[in-house]
Amino acid sequence: MAHAYDAVVVGSGPNGLAAAVRLAQEKLSVLVLEAAKTIGGGVRSAELTLPGFTHDVCSAIHPLALGSPFFRQLPLEKHGLRWIHPDFPLAHPLSGAQAAVLHRSIETTAGEFGQDAEAYKKLFSHLVRNWDDLAVEFLQPMLHWPRHPWLLGRFGLKALHSSSSLIQSRFRSEPARALFAGLAAHSFLPLEQRPSAAFGLVLGGLGHSVGWPLPKGGSQYIAEALASVLRSLGGEIKTGIRVEHLDEAPLARATLFDVTPRQFLRIAGDRLPSSYRDRLQKFRYGPGVFKMDFALSSPIPWKAEACARAGTVHVCGAWEEVALSERQVFEGKPPDRPFVLLAQPTLFDTTRAPAGKHIAWAYCHVPHGSTFDMTVRIEGQIERFAPGFRDCILARHSLDTAEMEQRNANLVGGDINGGLADLRQLIARPVLSLTPYRTPIPGVYLCSSSTPPGGGVHGMCGFHAAQAALKDVFV
């Protein structure tokens, strides 16, 4: 039977779009099918609160996109994407009017850590100096023959620690400890668990080497730029089409699924050998998130001045409080004083709210599948470090884990990373293989963040899945 397309990609998240672009670069005919009405998956923007206020439904801050070896090769700026760098990538308020700040410069950051200045420089300098070479090593399956074994080995010695042991062995001052704890908490692992330190090192390293930028106009511009590159190469996109079974996808020589293992089992389970099905069934999802967006009458009135110059603010206080919040999540309890990740785009991009008005984007980690309403607790944490915050709120919008999964089936139980990133699943993602994108069905691939290198907007899962298809099917 004739193939309608060379390749079909199911799902238009950053990984689906990256896979489609990579295949179209080889002059293949490519169709992307997206279940939602709009493209983008985790890179979508919408007026969630009031007219004229543009919020990011999922991702907002993009060190991984700017640092992505594949996205860097694409003419995304020519296709409408503009990066904005806040004055400071990140601030972390502490007691009084104090805050730890991650500056672009390691020297400036370390200079504010007093007795920990040398320890901070020692921790990050090697990583940042060799960022480009190391990024290529991290952003592919862990099982590979490294091009830079010494660099990777040196990084691994630090990264394989738990963040609590790294924090206590290297730092004495509260600001350095809190800053690293906040970075490491992006792992969704308890800080006592390995390899949570790896996330702190990579995100801190990205802050110093590429920055933590946001796209002008909102994250949707990343999806639109990728889609525009794809169309310029002859690719097609159709929205509002959910593929429920393999047979429903148009005939193609290669079909790539930007979905997680649980969905793939529903879509293709009856075609999979039981051994592979068993392995996918054992794939574990991580905690979820409770997401909030605010329309504000003014900027957030932070006690610590530095917070008003940062794109991202980690709101929780001392490192022990961050550790407690993440531990509670892992034990299945909605945290009493959550670790809140907050972004304030309109301090740097006035296009996203009416003149003089502002938006804030915030989420906290919650147990997998939790529908507990965290509104009061999230607002309470912000108010603690910015008294008067509640008085600035014009409107709010929230999404619990179930509502998020309803909008995007990849957010299983509210897990935003496509599966837990513990030691086991960093290596076996979703299965232990040199090419984990390949499934046992010839010509069928997985390309979502449930494959290496995992969560975040970088498109590298899609890129590597497309490379596997190019090698197997389109030699």
Question: Which residues of the shown chain bind ligand FAD in the complex (CB under 6 A)?
Answer: 10-16, 33-36, 41-42, 58-62, 64, 242-243, 258-259, 263, 289, 291, 363, 408-411, 416-418, 448-449, 455-457, 461
- Strand pairing partners for 9? 32, 256
Nearer to ligand FAD, 175 or 311 (CB): 311
Nearer to ligand FAD, 12 or 109 (CB): 12
Provide the minimum distance between the beta carbon of 407 and ligand FAD in the complex, in angstroms, as a whole number. 8
Q: Is there a contact between 176 and 120 (Cβ–Cβ < 8 Å)?
A: yes
Tokens standing for residue 164:
């609590």
Nearer to ligand FAD, 62 or 208 (CB): 62
Nearer to ligand FAD, 161 or 352 (CB): 352
Provide the minimum distance between the beta carbon of 230 and ligand FAD in the complex, in angstroms, as a whole number. 14
DSSP string computed for 132-191:
HHHHHHHTS-SSS--SSHHHHHHHHHHHTS-HHHHHHHH--SHHHHHHHHHHHGGG-S-T
Q: Is there a contact between 258 and 447 (Cβ–Cβ < 8 Å)?
A: yes
Nearer to ligand FAD, 178 or 399 (CB): 399
Q: Is there a contact between 278 and 468 (Cβ–Cβ < 8 Å)?
A: no
Provide the minimum distance between the beta carbon of 461 and ligand FAD in the complex, in angstroms, as a whole number. 6
Provide the minimum distance between the beta carbon of 408 and ligand FAD in the complex, in angstroms, as a whole number. 5
Provide the minimum distance between the beta carbon of 362 and ligand FAD in the complex, in angstroms, as a whole number. 10
Sequence-distant (≥ 6) Cβ neighbours of residue 367 within 8 angstroms:
287, 288, 329, 332, 333, 334
Q: Is 472 helix (H, G, I), strand (E, B) or coil?
A: helix
Tokens standing for residue 62:
């993009």
Tokens standing for residue 107:
């020297």
Nearer to ligand FAD, 176 or 420 (CB): 420
Provide the minimum distance between the beta carbon of 100 and ligand FAD in the complex, in angstroms, as a whole number. 20
Nearer to ligand FAD, 14 or 436 (CB): 14
Provide the minimum distance between the beta carbon of 62 and ligand FAD in the complex, in angstroms, as a whole number. 6
16-45 CB burial, b ≥16 within 10 A, e <16: bbbbbbbbbbeebbbbbbbbbebbbbbbbb
Nearer to ligand FAD, 15 or 49 (CB): 15
Provide the minimum distance between the beta carbon of 174 and ligand FAD in the complex, in angstroms, as a whole number. 26
Cα angle, residue 14 at apex, residues 330 and 65 outer, rounded to 5°: 80
Provide the minimum distance between the beta carbon of 37 and ligand FAD in the complex, in angstroms, as a whole number. 10
Helical pair 131-138 and 149-159, crossing angle rounded to 10 deg: 70
- What is the distance between the alpha carbons of residues 283 and 264, in angstroms, rounded to a whole number? 12
How many CB atoms within 10 Å of residue 373? 12
Nearer to ligand FAD, 175 or 205 (CB): 205
Cα angle, residue 344 at apex, residues 293 and 43 outer, rounded to 5°: 65
Provide the minimum distance between the beta carbon of 279 and ligand FAD in the complex, in angstroms, as a whole number. 19
Nearer to ligand FAD, 39 or 181 (CB): 39
How many CB atoms within 10 Å of residue 324? 18
